[in-house]
Amino acid sequence: MPSVVIAVGSVRKPKLGAVSDALEAYKSAFSAGLEIEIVGVETPSGVNHTPLSRSETMLGARQRVQALRSVARERGEPWQYFVGLEGGLDVLQADGSRHVFLENWAYAADAHGAGFYGQSGAILLPEDLAQEVVDRGVELSVAIDAYAGGRGIRDAEGAWGILTGGRITRRDAFRISTINAFAPLLNKQAYTATKV
């Protein structure tokens, strides 16, 4: 059976599951009977473990795709799409206060070089958690484990799950950002329509 292969710049289960879920939502955009195959490859983001700005988080997602392209060239892989996922913080000043938001970004690209960003939305970090990560430089994965009294939270529900009481998980947030990043690639009609 013919397949389309999507390479993801990670081997973490929440990220791979998110891409799988997102592509399932786009299944009708592919030819009938085409299998979707997802390949995880650990790639560097080239940014801090916990990016501290929106631009750094976006850069990390895009650099994972660039690394995937290099791997594809070196190995001669026929991957048709590339996905880079990165979670990070957006630190804002508003109303005289600091607000630290967790965001998840995706960068999706095709084999021809076209690429687009997608974002998950954002959730406010509690001030104690924000201080650990932003002010003390603790990685979010370590800080959320201590904050929630757990272990390996990033590979389970993630900070999103802890902060929303399980209503939105890390996988959910990456699914949304991946759907949004693929929109210009797989829903081209909406992006080439005549302007009103």
Show the domains of the chain with their CATH numbers: 3-188 (3.90.950.10)
Residue 4: predicted pLDDT: 92
User: Residue 159's pLDDT is what?
Assistant: 97
Q: pLDDT for 49-77, tens place per residue? A: 999 999 999 999 999 999 999 999 999 99
Rounded to two decimals, the pTM is 0.94
- Is the confidence at residue 193, as pLDDT, over 80? no
State residue 168's pLDDT score. Answer: 97
**Mean pLDDT value across the chain:** 94
- Residues of the chain above pLDDT 90, percent: 88
pLDDT at 156: 93
From residue 55, give the alpha-carbon distance in Å to each of 2, 86, 110, 117, 130.
37, 11, 22, 11, 18
Residue pair 39/80 in contact by the 8 Å Cβ criterion: no
**SS3 of residue 190 by DSSP:** helix
pLDDT in tens, 85-123: 999 999 999 999 999 999 999 999 999 989 999 999 999
Of the candidates 79, 86, 121, which has an alpha carbon nearest to the alpha carbon of residue 106?
86
Helix (H) or strand (E) holding 83: strand 81-94
Residue 44 sits at the vertex; the CA angle it makes with 147 and 116, to the nearest 5 degrees, is 95
